[in-house]
Structure 1
């Protein structure tokens, strides 16, 4: 059963996440050259390239740079060597800053991916649609419904559906997403429904409990929906496709992006990998990690030494108890041997008193030694565990 939004961790406001597709040859050379260029021009501090242990042929690129006011950003791009439908390959990018992400900051995708070089990489992972362009909705109703479903249920991106009240001119066909702040680039997909698709698109949107006003726009809630999402608050009645900036829509997209996002499993995994598998360390971070490892080893060694001492104590107590038991057994045997056949002899009563005395003195002592040995053994096991 899929997790509900309340079961999922929400993305911290310090995090930037995106998933896309690229086509054509393996992009490692182009990404590597891009990062080298940025490092040589000091636009990034450093980068590191490794293989992806989970995917044969996959690559991992890590980069570190400063955003505004010296805020450090760490980002991790993973390119998948496995082919998707149509020969495309998936990429995921997770970035985290030292404070909440700001809209004016550069899109991390633009750090790794070159603007040119023949790579087709600016496409949504779930749908294959362009991330910074207009995507006309398909004319076939069944294909349209499937596309809307994939957009609303399987994508990390923010999907905006715009209905054209009338066929726009050249200025009106320009993508609205180009007007979004830099940090929202590569995170928003713009769909366009033609004038005659009004009923068809709303029929498809019904699966997501959303609808687009005639000549307006709606932001899809995602699956699970973002915390605090309200269809009325995230739709716009009128969008003028005349080349002007649709201020109301752009503002609502930015506010939607700021809502708590219950991360899909693969997005949560990308963030975990960024935090747990990060290898591009500064000298200070390497020293801190070395100190932490040394402290951990010292703690483990102390626990092993303490466990060894407790096991030795338990062994010594057990041996002492066994020795007392042997002494008690020998004395008792001597009493029994002396008493056999001499029941009426005064020696019998004397030996019996000796036996009773030994029993009264030794038994509690042996029991105490055995219990002490058991306690030491239990503590030793707890320490070693």
Structure 2
């Protein structure tokens, strides 16, 4: 693929998150200059049918155009003998029709699990009558390339109309007779309106169901609050990416140098503050020791003297303050007497 320039570069490594898992990173261009980064991971665990689980996340430098190639089709081989194209919720095919189970309880459980756990766009189509060979062709072949591996098509036979709507009732929706409905998913996409994503009639005669295809494209464009598992896959793509260009490696190195410089500066400041605090603590301890020694000496001499030197000093200070305050007090008293006499004269 690299030699044929389908991808610009790639990297394969072990998946540190799980034993026996692997990660494949690839980078390519769309519209000549828009970079796409994709991360395909296998976790080493197996499904009940013995096949391994995998997840794929891809991100471009600008909003994804549905006309761009599907990353899944680019990284997985298009071979019928290798069934990689299955939705993780119930193992349903992504490029084929999935007939709904005949048992009503199983059907209900499948719809509920799909609505809660699937990352794909789930479309339920009810057949108004048994279709011919042209009507049994999947919708995926008519979708834009980027959506062909993101849609699960569920088919209900004519006699399953009431059973499928009984199951869809748990989700607060229904499928019109001979029509289709797109499930909201969990969590529901922002701006989703159940009525806006229902199609009253889908002709299964080999013609192109334009209305349904348009609604699938519109649904795919709605903002999607990712589930926890899907968010973890996207976070791994953004934060655990190793396939760097020379420019990206240089930017990464500069960021590391800046980070180390900030850390060193913080350590230096922390060291200086610690030294200053230590010096202040030692000074405080020394001063406390002096006070303690002085107090001990004062207690030792207090019994043989009439007055402690400190008491004499305090007495001298008190006398000095009183001598300074006395004239001021006399002056205030004299002013008060004069004011009182003037008040008597004025009243007389």
Q: Given the two structures, how large is their TM-score scaled by the length of structure 2? A: 0.85
| Alignment match, 1:207 | 170
Q: Which residue of 1 aligns with 2:19?
A: 56
Q: 1:112 to 1:320 in 2, by over 3 A?
A: same
Greater shift, 64-73 or 83-92, is seen at: 83-92
For the aligned residue pairs, the C-alpha RMSD in angstroms reads 2.0
Aligned residue for 1:135, secondary structure, equals strand
**C-alpha distance in structure 2 between counterparts of 1:353 and 1:288, whole Å:** 75
Tell me, yes or no, if the aligned pair for 1:148 and 1:205 is still in contact at 8 Å: yes
The answer to whether the 8 A contact 1:338-1:351 is kept is no
- Pair 43,332 (structure 1): closer, same or farther in 2 beyond 3 Å: same
Matches within 5 A, 1:274-285: 274-285=237-248
How far, CA to CA, are the matches of 1:133 and 1:94 in structure 2? 22
Structure 2's unaligned 5+ residue stretches are 317-348
Confirm or deny: 8 A CA contact 2:43 2:54 kept in the other structure: yes
**Paired residues of 2:126 and 2:155 also in contact (CA < 8 A):** yes
Equivalent residues in 2 for 1:147-226, closer than 5 Å: 147-226=110-189
Name the stretch that deviates more: 192-201 or 244-253. 192-201
Kindly indicate whether residue 229 of structure 2 is the aligned counterpart of residue 266 of structure 1.
yes
Q: 2:298·2:308 contact (CA, 8 Å) conserved in 1?
A: no
Higher RCO structure (Cα 8 Å, ≥6 apart): 1
1:338 deviation in Å?
4.8
User: Distance between the aligned counterparts of 2:308 and 2:172, measured in 1?
Assistant: 99
Aligned residue runs from structure 1 range 1-385, under 5 A = 38-116=1-79, 118-343=81-306, 352-353=311-312
Q: Give the number of equivalent residue pairs.
A: 316
Evaluate the alpha carbon distance shift between residue 305 and residue 355 of structure 1 in structure 2; reply closer, same or farther with a 3 A threshold: farther
Q: 2:44, 2:274 → 1: CA distance?
A: 53
Distance 2:268 2:185 in 1: 54
Give the superposition deviation at 1:351. 6.6
Q: Could you tell me whether the CA contact under 8 Å between 1:144 and 1:204 is conserved in 2?
A: yes
With over 3 angstroms needed to count, the CA separation of the structure-2 counterparts of 1:339 and 1:141, relative to structure 1, is closer
State whether residues 140 and 149 of structure 2, in contact with CA within 8 Å, keep that contact through their aligned partners in structure 1.
Answer: no
Name the TM-score, length of structure 1 as normaliser.
0.77
Deviates more, 1:82-91 or 1:280-289: 82-91
Contact 1:332 1:355 in 2 (8 A): no
> Do the aligned partners of residues 339 and 119 (structure 1) sit closer, same or farther apart at CA in structure 2, a change above 3 Å counting?
same
Partners in 1 of 2:108 and 2:295 — Cα distance? Answer: 93
* Unpaired segments ≥5 residues, structure 1: 1-37, 358-385
CA distance in 1, matches of 2:308, 2:179: 113
Relative to 1, partners in 2 of residues 1:195 and 1:356: Cα closer, same or farther, differing over 3 Å? Answer: farther
